[in-house]
Amino acid sequence: MTLINRSLVTIDDLSNGEMEATFALADEMSADIKEQFGLCKGKIMASLFFEPSTRTRMSFEAAMHRLGGSVISSFEANATSFAKGESIADMAKVVGHYADIIVIRHPWEGAARVVADYAGIPVINAGDGGHQHPTQTLCDLYTIKQDKGTIKGLKIALWGDLKYGRTVHSLIFALAKFGADILFYPSPGLEVPEHVVKKLIKEYGGKLTHYKSADPAAKDEVSNLDAIYVTPNSPHQLAMMPNVNLQVELASGVDALYVTRAQKERFTAGEGLANRYPVVDKKLLQGKEFKKTLVMHPLPRVDELAYELDADPRARYFEQAARGVPVRMALLAQSLGAKEMPVKDEEALPRPDYPLHRQTFGIKCANPKCVSIQPTEQKYIKPLFRIVDHDPLTMRCVYCEHGFEPRFIASTEWHEGKVEFKKYHRADSYLVKKIRPEHLLVFNSEEEAEALGFKPSHYSHE
């Protein structure tokens, strides 16, 4: 495989072998960064950041300059044609003629997918809302491997805002791909979204076990373990137990603690922190389970990570940020065809081939931050879903990956244009497996179905 002319929208776009090759190239480049100048001479990177950024934007631009390329930039939506109502698709088509590669950050989830679909050149997602941030995940994995030598079999704890933290969502899938066990320590109310959990279990195997404290009165942050995901790649008897014993689980120690801030800019109206946001400090890390723990953070931090840890030998967050330059140099050089690294043969997880579902009426993504429901984008893109399960029937948005379970179904084939055969049924009836994907219609209510002339069948009610 090669990364030439390929886009990176989610971490799923890279195999483990391709990530390992990128790390090997990052090692090579960081050993002598000055020698890399000229690799991308004559190439132009469009840096499109429509959300605030310091590390990601500057490291991408520094990476391109280190490679001898040029950068054209746009930082504020109000200073672009977005303020005039231009669609992302139109913008992508235009910028695709100005540059050789696009790096984009945007508040709408799925925006990077749209740009990749229309730009005609490679596109790298630098963060799309609360969806994913795949290049940050590459920096995170690279940092862990530099210290631990491997990722498989490690125990990685994710701490803080696991609901809106896009860095966390990318990292969860990558850690599962590499065979790490994951401990979830969310701030109350900021647990991992259901659609992320469902994808994790269904597509990466393993088992998610929710923890129930043996001591309900426990107030310390370490007891605030929400769930443990155990990879299928390593034997783990605790995963088969109904209640995980925290002390036993932590006896072998935590290899890395990944801290995130509260993503308050993504909170919905009226949403706030249910309790005091958990803080990682020396007191927390004095436990023996954290003796050899790497303390990581994608930055910026607010109050969730004590400044006293900056001098702690376990702190790795500034190294994470610094490694963003060689990692992104490696990624840019490969995407632009300036450098190619051999990819080792690997036994990859089988990627499910979910059927696509297009329906121009009746349904749309339920995520209000999804790019597909924004008025400016509906000129080009229509709701597009993958059918990821039949029991119950579950649809996943192609753009933002949020899922939903429709309540009613029908078939375009069965009614044959005749009103008397135009029936709708409950989505949990046996008929859901009889309808071919290309003939499936889904509705969220009986009113939606009946407004289109469908009548209830024997299978439309309990």
> Is the CB of residue 254 less than 8 Å from the CB of residue 157?
yes
396 is catalytic: no
Cβ-contact 408, 370 below 8 angstroms: no
Alpha-carbon gap, residue 340 to 25, rounded angstroms: 9
Residue 256 near residue 156 (C-beta atoms within 8 A): yes
Nearest to 109 by CA among 90, 88, 93, 128: 128
The Cα angle at residue 282 between residues 276 and 285, in degrees rounded to 5: 90
Catalytic residue, chosen from 133, 402, 407, 423, is 133
Token output for 21:
């090759």
Residue 455 structure tokens: 């009548």
Number of residues assigned to the chain: 462
For residue 232 the two structure tokens come to 């299928």
Strand, helix or coil at 9? coil
93-128 burial string, b = 16+ CB within 10 Å, else e?
eebbeebbbbbbbbbbbbbbbbbbbbbebbbbbbbb
Does residue 238 contact residue 249 with C-beta atoms inside 8 Å?
yes
Rounded-to-integer distance, Cα 112 and Cα 124, Å: 7
What are the structure tokens assigned to 312, written together? 């702690």
Whether 55 is a known active-site residue: answer yes
Active site residue 461: no
Q: Which of 34, 84, 97, 461 is catalytic?
A: 84
Residue owning tokens 């309790």: 275
Structure tokens at 210: 């929710």
**8 Å CB contact between 365 and 400:** yes
User: Which one from 6, 55, 65, 314 is the annotated catalytic residue?
Assistant: 55
Catalytic residue of the set 66, 105, 131, 316: 105
Query: Which class for 337: exposed (0-12), middle (13-18), buried (19 or more C-beta within 10 A)?
Result: middle
Q: Among 10, 22, 56, 293, which one carries the catalytic annotation?
A: 56
Does 105 participate in catalysis according to the annotation?
A: yes
Structure-token pair, residue 157: 């704890």
Candidates 330, 351, 374; CA nearest to 124 is: 330
Closest CA to 329 of 29, 45, 34, 35: 29
Query: Which residue's structure tokens are 């992302």?
Result: 88
- Active-site positions? 55-56, 84, 105, 133
